[in-house]
Structure 1
Amino acid sequence: MSDLAGARQTRSVPVPEGFEGQRVDQVVSRMLGLSRTVAAELVADGDVTVDGRVCRTKSERVSAGSWIEVVLPPPPEDVRAAVAAAEPVEGLDVVFTDDDIVVVSKPVGVAAHPSPGWTGPTVTGGLAAAGHRLSSYGPDERQGIVHRLDVGTSGLMVVAKSERAYTELKRAFKERRVSKRYRAVAQGHPDPLSGTVDAPIGRHPRHDYKWAVVADGKPSITHYDTIEVFPGASLMDLGLETGRTHQIRVHFAALGHPLAGDLTYGADPKLAEKLGLTRQWLHAYRLEFVHPGTGRTVTFESEYPEDLDLALARLRAEQ
């Protein structure tokens, strides 16, 4: 267990076979959920050892089976306080749990984990309050977190409870071996009705709280199918190959079909009011992956929450 009140913490992790021959800063970054910059700084400061030997350069290659020990800096005070506060989260539904993982259906208005400036409820805090002990891998504020959903997006998340689950699931998400399915209501009728959006996403050039399709962004791929059509809107089934921040919202805004209720990305406020929406109509309804403990494929599904169900009923009533 890490010492949340202490100054610095030490983490020891084995190098998995899939990381054979990679640079030490890359391995530290991916295994502990740190940025490459922070990982490189830790190496430069002598805070990273491999099999008991201090690394001298971030470009040093590591071998599978070696043990990496990292002395981590303390989290910021506001993050440390948030981590220490394990508070029940209303509406956080535990869909499945065992010794390796816990799958939850996250309600809207809940963040995946604490972060500077966020004072609301979190998945990690809610799980801690419910007695779930999460993987110690990753930074304190993100222990067990292998992927995230936006605060304004509801639906399924898997959180790692064991160290092997954290390692295997992080790798599975990176290698795109996890099936993530979403439902969304987009304004208008996309043409064609089914297709793929392959457009890079990066920070918005003028608004730092938003993301956008930009030439120098990270590769981002969204597959979509129209499954129901209403006057002025469409219910979409979506699959992601990548998991960029706000990916679905940005891609559909770029198509000229922002998600209903998504005022940040250009949705019609009159439609949002008519449907009773105070957030984007977007729900992560299905999650499928290989269980890190059993090796078997597992599938989980989540029903639409009440606000999205009501908005959908109002659209159907107009037909």
Structure 2
Amino acid sequence: MDRVLEYEIPSEYDGANITTVLKRHFKISTNLIKDLKKYKEGIQVNGEHRRVVDFVAKGDILKITIRDTASENIVPTDIPLDIVYEDEDVLVINKPPNMPTHPSMGNYENSLANGVMYYYKSKGEERVFRAVNRLDKDTSGLMAVAKNSYIHARLGEEIQKKELKRKYMCIVCGDVEHDGTVDAPIRRADGSVINRIVAPDGQRAVTHYRVIKRYREYTLLEMELETGRTHQIRVHMAYIGHPLVGDWLYGTENHNIAKRQMLHSCYLCFTHPITGQIMEFKDEMAEDMRAFIEKLS
């Protein structure tokens, strides 16, 4: 599926080469520039094919065509999607719990990726599945999916620069006395593919938490990630003695309490790479978490 972007060259770039415009205005990576060079329609000026070393003048129309093909090995599956927002470049989806983001062993056809690929196919679009903020299988809530490699790279840069904001609601065990921050490095546990631990030789991980309400032996928290390590919230809360309710990996194994870890992506905010508009999405709490709290009240 092609995504075409056009730009009228201003006086700022009069006499500049195309590489300069691509990197400074579009903020296109070197790898994507290499992809654009592979086909005739990739880079055009005033309707004619151009090389990246060619120069442009004020008033020229620079057109780039970003080309994607369909993701291989992801089976399109008719799975209902709760689409919160969609435009030509991005999807924002409210992911339910008990749904992995990507296909895996035992979850070959029931992931969010399968559902998104079916959605694309139903619209006659060939695209690659590109998750921006990946959620664990049992974590629910807001997820952004980029529709092409350019948007995926730009939003990835926002994550690296800590410009893409993510907040979560979670229910933890115990009475959390006050707001706080956990700044503790995380790495994969020795001999495990899944399990993560806090360790001095891990990658820096920072989680901010705010107490919303206390329910005797449980506390409802709002979490904000400064970094994005695997299982970060789950590992950090267990580390300070307040594991997430229902977290069989880092907390209690009692599935009678909750059928999954009580964690929901409730807030997502980023700058749209094309329009420059601030995109802000909110979804306070998943139904099963709400039901759990109602039983405590």
Query: Which TM-score band applies after superposition, normalised by the shorter structure?
Result: 0.7 to 0.9
Whole-angstrom distance in 2 between the partners of 1:288 and 1:111: 22
Partner of residue 273 from structure 1, selected from 232, 243, 256: 256
Q: How many residues align?
A: 246
Indicate whether 1:107 and 2:91 are aligned: no
What letter corresponds to residue 146 of structure 1 in structure 2?
V
What letter corresponds to residue 144 of structure 1 in structure 2?
R
If you compute each CA radius of gyration, which structure gives the higher value, 1 or 2? 2
- 8 Å contact from structure 1 (residues 109, 121) kept in 2: no
Aligned counterparts, 1:111-122, within 5 A: 111-115=100-104, 118-122=107-111
- 8 Å contact from structure 1 (residues 135, 161) kept in 2: no
Q: Which residue is 2:162 aligned to?
A: 176
Shift in Å at residue 202 of structure 1?
Answer: 0.6
Partner of residue 313 from structure 1, selected from 279, 294, 297: 294
What letter corresponds to residue 237 of structure 1 in structure 2?
E
Shift in Å at residue 183 of structure 1?
Answer: 0.3
Q: Compared with structure 1, are the counterparts of its residues 110 and 233 closer, same or farther at alpha carbon in structure 2 (3 Å cutoff)?
A: same
Q: Which residue is 1:189 aligned to?
A: 175
Consecutive unaligned residues of structure 1, counting only runs of 5 or more, are: 3-13, 32-47, 53-64, 67-78
* Secondary structure, counterpart of 1:252 in structure 2: helix
Shift in Å at residue 117 of structure 1?
Answer: 5.5
Q: Which residue is 1:211 aligned to?
A: 196
Whole-angstrom distance in 2 between the partners of 1:309 and 1:239: 20
* Secondary structure, counterpart of 1:265 in structure 2: coil
Whole-angstrom distance in 1 between the partners of 2:167 and 2:126: 25
Consecutive unaligned residues of structure 2, counting only runs of 5 or more, are: 3-20, 39-51, 54-70
Whole-angstrom distance in 2 between the partners of 1:260 and 1:267: 7
Q: Which has a greater percent of helix?
A: 1
Q: Which residue is 1:39 aligned to?
A: none
What letter corresponds to residue 169 of structure 2 in structure 1?
R
Shift in Å at residue 98 of structure 1?
Answer: 0.7
* Secondary structure, counterpart of 2:291 in structure 1: helix
Shift in Å at residue 179 of structure 1?
Answer: 0.8
Indicate whether 1:296 and 2:277 are aligned: yes
Whole-angstrom distance in 2 between the partners of 1:176 and 1:18: 21
- 8 Å contact from structure 2 (residues 171, 219) kept in 1: yes
Whole-angstrom distance in 2 between the partners of 1:205 and 1:182: 28
Question: What whole-Å deviation, never above 9, does each CA across 1:255-278 have from its counterpart, x for those lacking one?
Answer: 011000102102262xx524xx11
* Secondary structure, counterpart of 1:288 in structure 2: strand
Whole-angstrom distance in 2 between the partners of 1:100 and 1:51: 22
Whole-angstrom distance in 2 between the partners of 1:180 and 1:101: 16
Shift in Å at residue 175 of structure 1?
Answer: 1.2
- 8 Å contact from structure 1 (residues 213, 254) kept in 2: yes
Question: What whole-Å deviation, never above 9, does each CA across 1:12-58 have from its counterpart, x for those lacking one?
Answer: xx9744999x9xxxx65xx7xxxxxxxxxxxxxxxx99978xxxxxx
Q: Which residue is 1:147 aligned to?
A: 133
* Secondary structure, counterpart of 2:163 in structure 1: coil
What letter corresponds to residue 231 of structure 2 in structure 1?
H
Q: Which residue is 2:79 aligned to?
A: 89
Give the TM-score normalised by the residue count of structure 2.
Answer: 0.73
Whole-angstrom distance in 2 between the partners of 1:203 and 1:135: 35
Q: How well do the aligned residues superpose, as a CA RMSD in angstroms? A: 3.1
Whole-angstrom distance in 1 between the partners of 2:176 and 2:24: 43
Whole-angstrom distance in 1 between the partners of 2:267 and 2:36: 39
Residue identity over aligned pairs, in percent, reads: 33
Give the TM-score normalised by the residue count of structure 1.
Answer: 0.68
Question: What whole-Å deviation, never above 9, does each CA across 1:130-187 have from its counterpart, x for those lacking one?
Answer: 2367895xxx5xx322220001100000111134322211111121101101000010
Whole-angstrom distance in 2 between the partners of 1:103 and 1:163: 16
Shift in Å at residue 115 of structure 1?
Answer: 3.9
Whole-angstrom distance in 2 between the partners of 1:213 and 1:238: 18
* Secondary structure, counterpart of 1:147 in structure 2: coil
Question: What whole-Å deviation, never above 9, does each CA across 1:98-132 have from its counterpart, x for those lacking one?
Answer: 11111000011222222456425222221221236
- 8 Å contact from structure 1 (residues 135, 160) kept in 2: no
Aligned counterparts, 1:1-319, within 5 A: 16-17=23-24, 80-81=72-73, 83=74, 85-90=75-80, 92-115=81-104, 118-131=107-120, 143-191=129-177, 193-267=178-252, 269=254, 273-274=256-257, 277-316=258-297
Q: Compared with structure 1, are the counterparts of its residues 165 and 314 closer, same or farther at alpha carbon in structure 2 (3 Å cutoff)?
A: same
Whole-angstrom distance in 1 between the partners of 2:252 and 2:228: 22
Shift in Å at residue 303 of structure 1?
Answer: 4.2
